[in-house]
């Protein structure tokens, strides 16, 4: 199994969402964290299972949708690792993360 690397920007996006949900209800934050961990683990075990979000410069970005929250985890399956590029809200700023794969 390949190593997972989470870009600092993706880590911050997740932390921001977690903080917001914690302010709404701690149970929501716990559910978000659990689902995020499950999706990252799934992406690590099955790196090509996510739907293709885009393919640029020989890098295919795949999306893994969260079921309970309006977010997606965007990953790239590189030769030696799986990179989490973004933890993106599904309804806000589409494609803002594209500069991260260039």
| DSSP sequence for 36-87 | HHHHHHHHHHSTT-SEEEEEETTEEEEEEE-SSSSEEEEEEE-SSEEEEEEE
What's the predicted TM-score (pTM) here?
0.92
Q: What is the mean pLDDT of residues 2-16?
A: 97
What are the structural domains, with CATH classification, of the chain? 3-91 (3.30.2310.20)
C-alpha 26, offset from chain centre = 21
Bridge-based pairing of strands 3-6 and 81-89 is parallel
pLDDT tens by residue, 20-31: 999 999 999 999
CA distance 14 to 6: 10
């Amino acid at each position: 199994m390949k190593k997972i690397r989470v870009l600092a920007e993706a880590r911050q996006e997740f932390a921001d969402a977690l903080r917001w949900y914690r302010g709404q209800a701690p149970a929501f934050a716990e559910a978000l964290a659990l689902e995020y961990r499950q999706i990252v683990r799934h992406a690590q075990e099955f790196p090509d299972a996510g739907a293709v979000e885009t393919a640029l410069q020989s890098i295919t970005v795949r999306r893994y949708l969260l079921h309970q929250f309006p977010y997606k985890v965007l990953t790239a399956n590189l030769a030696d690792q799986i990179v989490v590029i973004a933890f993106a809200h599904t309804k806000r700023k589409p494609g803002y993360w594209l500069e991260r794969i260039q």
